[in-house]
């Protein structure tokens, strides 16, 4: 056990609390493995009726994975570090998704990337007015992962493509509309946590919930559906109107900044997962890209621009979406053969 995560049993609940508020509770590899072990220990524990996953600090539940070490290893040409991290993280994501008891997550502030993999596969996902949820991977040359492609594939209409390609942030109303959250509880959450601990009764969440706020993405959905229905990312870009509405104009602006190859692959992954919407398929499709991401180069460059040099001026391998070919996408999405993701751990 380390100070960056608190895992314990309280009353009828198994509790996991992320405790890196200064780092916006970003997930380290050690945190991933501790969560995974707790899920194994508790799934058949008759003294535990439900799980509570929360975090310290007001700014974030979890703003993503701690990717600085991936940059360092990538600079050394070490392809194994990221692959092993993602394997363990994806196994943990699958365990959370499959967990046989209610999982109540409290998603204050930022929940992004790897935080979605911890917070948004629960059965009772709670948001408030501070909540901001996003899959921003394409901004750093990655694809929406940690099982996020399944959530995107199951979002209403074409909002999954919109969210995955633009990295737009959802507020509480949007998150509930798009299927990333379930309950809006605008009051202090501590009394609810204590009641859940004392009783193990997950129905208390339903009783505490208030009507969800209006979703701007729900209101914009007809426009999004009309312009994000293309079979490929190139189809989407070619179909954008000359005189777009405000949300489509903003989407085009965001996509112009993101990694072209990542967006092309993300579009394909979302479509493939929509055809077979299982957590296993989602993680397998995602891993095909992340396994190859360090060697391809955009991911390391994206980290450099975002958190190392912080110049926000990444130099992607492809100059823009017109430069990405079908062969480029194929190279990143082919099955991995003997290197394919194995969700079941071998002793």
Q: What is the pLDDT of residues 314-326, one digit of tens each?
A: 999 999 999 999 9
Encoding tokens for residue 310? 């912080």
* pLDDT 10s digits, 157-189: 999 999 999 999 999 999 999 999 999 999 999
Q: What is the mean pLDDT of residues 68-80?
A: 86
Q: How many CB atoms lie within 10 A of CB 40?
A: 12
220-257 burial: b if 16+ Cβ within 10 Å, else e: bbebbeebbebebbbebbeeeeeeeeebbeebbebbee
What DSSP letter does each residue of 45-68 carry, written as one string? -TT--EEEEEESSSSEEE--B--H
Which helix (H) or strand (E) segment holds residue 6: the answer is strand 5-10
Contact criterion met (CB below 8 Å) for 299 and 71 = no
Residue 260 has pLDDT above 80, yes or no: yes
How far is it between the farthest Cα atoms of the chain? Answer: 60
> What pLDDT is attached to residue 344?
85
CA distance 119 to 63: 11
Coil vs helix vs strand at 334? coil
Contact partners, residue 35, CB within 8 Å, separation at least 6: 5, 7, 16, 92, 96, 118
> What pLDDT is attached to residue 346?
64
79 versus 147: the higher-pLDDT residue is 147
Coil vs helix vs strand at 173? helix
Q: At 145, phi and psi to the nearest 5?
A: -130, -150
Which burial class, exposed, middle or buried, applies to 38 when counting CB atoms under 10 A from its CB (0-12, 13-18, 19+)? Answer: buried
Encoding tokens for residue 193? 């946590």
Reported as half-sphere exposure (CB side, CA atoms, 13 A), residue 1 has a value of: 8
Q: What is the mean pLDDT of residues 193-221?
A: 97
* pLDDT 10s digits, 295-345: 999 999 999 999 999 999 999 999 999 999 999 999 999 999 999 999 987
Contact criterion met (CB below 8 Å) for 100 and 124 = no
Could you give the percent of the chain with pLDDT greater than 90?
Answer: 94
Q: What is the mean pLDDT of residues 218-226?
A: 96
> Torsion over CA of 231, 236, 241 and 244, rounded to 10 degrees?
120
CA distance 235 to 226: 12
The backbone region for 64, taken as left when phi is positive above 0, alpha when psi lies in -120 to 50, beta otherwise, is: left
Encoding tokens for residue 296? 């391809």
**What is the Cα 64 distance to its own chain's centre?**
8
Query: Looking up tokens 């958190």, which residue turns up?
Result: 307
The rounded mean pLDDT for the chain is 96
């Amino acid at each position: 056990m380390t100070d960056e995560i608190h895992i314990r049993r309280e009353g009828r609940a198994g509790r996991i609390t992320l405790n890196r508020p200064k780092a916006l509770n970003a997930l380290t590899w050690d945190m991933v493995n501790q969560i995974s072990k707790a899920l194994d220990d508790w799934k058949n524990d008759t003294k535990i009726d439900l799980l509570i996953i929360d975090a310290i600090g007001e700014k974030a539940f979890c703003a993503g994975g701690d990717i600085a070490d991936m940059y360092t290893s990538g600079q050394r040409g070490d392809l194994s570090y990221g692959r092993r991290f993602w394997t363990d993280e994806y196994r943990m994501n699958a365990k959370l998704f499959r967990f046989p008891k209610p999982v109540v997550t409290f998603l204050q502030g930022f929940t992004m990337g790897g935080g979605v993999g911890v917070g948004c596969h629960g059965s009772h996902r709670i948001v408030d007015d501070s909540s901001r949820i996003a899959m921003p991977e394409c901004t750093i040359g990655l694809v929406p992962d940690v099982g996020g492609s399944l959530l995107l594939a199951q979002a209403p209409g074409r909002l999954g493509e919109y969210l995955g390609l633009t990295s737009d942030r959802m507020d509480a109303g949007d998150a509930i509309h798009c299927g990333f959250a379930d309950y809006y509880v605008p009051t202090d959450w501590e009394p609810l946590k204590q009641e859940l601990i004392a009783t193990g009764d997950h129905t208390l969440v339903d009783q505490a919930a208030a009507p969800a706020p209006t979703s701007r993405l729900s209101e914009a959905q007809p426009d999004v559906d009309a312009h994000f229905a293309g079979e490929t990312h190139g189809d989407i870009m070619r179909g954008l109107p000359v005189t777009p509405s405000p949300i489509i104009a903003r989407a085009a602006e965001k996509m112009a900044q993101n990694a072209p190859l990542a967006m092309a692959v993300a579009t394909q992954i979302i479509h493939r997962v929509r055809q077979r919407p299982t957590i296993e398929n989602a993680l397998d499709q995602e891993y095909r890209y992340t396994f190859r991401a360090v060697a391809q180069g955009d991911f390391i460059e994206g980290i450099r621009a975002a958190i190392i040099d912080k110049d926000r001026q990444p130099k992607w391998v492809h100059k823009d979406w017109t430069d990405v070919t079908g062969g480029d996408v194929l190279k990143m999405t082919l099955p991995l053969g003997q290197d394919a993701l194995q969700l079941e751990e071998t002793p």
